[in-house]
């Protein structure tokens, strides 16, 4: 005669199954974009093939591929192409819809020996001649905000802040109306007013010929 499971054991079994479902859903959420009302997404590159651009992303310029970090486990996005002609910066767009108001953050880390490797975010990308660029470079860290309009790039603001040369740094930008607020490693750098802001896509950039690691791009655009 088989013993009937007690109420406590049945509850424990149901709870374990429920916990497994929650963990599975959480793992899927971390690996792929989400959508609920507004648009939000987190890209960790953990499920993307090594040696190829991340799935769904659009390469604008440069040579982009997912690679393993030094520990051989974590997958990151790397730009390894040679310098581009003129002042063109290697860039890649995430699979996000156009948005004017948003919050975006990315982890960045120099992967080479140059002290002037450049890395950062692209916001409000409308076409090759219209976008906002927030880039980090140098030692100590210099943070620049450039506006590209009608194909002409102009410097709008610059800041100096400590930069972790051997570790990850978190660059974060909030865009609301015609104001942009910049943060590095949790430190508020300043606010910049942007004339005639337009909705656009979000992407990542790297300096000419630079080899940098980028990871965990997070984008939140509130519902309108």
**Does residue 16 contact residue 32 with C-beta atoms inside 8 Å?**
no
- What's the mean per-residue pLDDT of the chain? 81
Query: Could you tell me which residue, 161 or 2, shows the higher pLDDT?
Result: 161
- The percent of residues in the chain predicted with pLDDT above 90, rounded, is 54
pLDDT at 14 exceeding the cut of 60? no
pLDDT for 40-50, tens place per residue? 899 999 999 99
Mean pLDDT for the stretch of residues 112-139: 84
The CATH code of domain 36-221 reads 2.60.120.560
Kindly write down the DSSP assignment for every residue of 53-108, as one continuous string.
PPTT-EEEES-EEEEE-TTSS-EEEEE-PPPPSTT---EEE-S---BSSEEEEEEE
pLDDT at 12 exceeding the cut of 80? no
> Which residue pairs from 44-47 have beta carbons closer than 8 angstroms and sit at least 24 positions apart in sequence?
44/75, 44/215, 44/216, 45/75, 45/76, 45/77, 45/215, 46/74, 46/75
Q: Which of the 8 DSSP states describes residue 48?
A: S
Query: Where are the domains positioned within the chain?
Result: 1-31, 36-221
């Amino acid at each position: 005669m088989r013993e009937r499971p007690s109420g406590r054991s049945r509850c424990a079994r149901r709870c374990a199954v429920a916990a497994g479902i929650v963990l599975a859903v959480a793992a899927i959420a971390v690996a792929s974009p989400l959508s609920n009302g507004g648009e939000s997404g987190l890209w960790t590159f953990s499920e993307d093939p090594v040696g190829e651009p991340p799935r769904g992303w659009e390469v604008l310029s440069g040579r982009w591929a997912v690679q393993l970090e030094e520990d051989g486990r974590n997958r990151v996005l790397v730009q390894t192409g040679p310098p581009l002609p003129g002042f063109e910066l290697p860039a890649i767009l995430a699979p996000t819809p156009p948005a004017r108001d948003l919050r975006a953050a990315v982890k960045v880390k120099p992967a080479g020996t140059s002290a002037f490797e450049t890395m950062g975010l692209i916001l409000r990308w409308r076409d090759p001649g219209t976008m906002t660029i927030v880039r980090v470079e140098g030692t100590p860290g210099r943070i620049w905000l450039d506006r590209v309009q009608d194909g002409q790039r102009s410097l709008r603001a610059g800041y100096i802040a400590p930069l972790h040369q051997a570790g990850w740094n978190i660059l974060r930008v909030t865009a609301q109306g015609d104001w942009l607020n910049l943060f590095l490693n949790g430190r508020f750098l300043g606010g910049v007013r942007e004339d005639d802001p337009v909705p656009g896509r979000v992407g990542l950039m790297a300096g000419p010929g630079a080899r940098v690691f980028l990871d965990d791009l997070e984008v939140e655009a509130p519902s309108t």
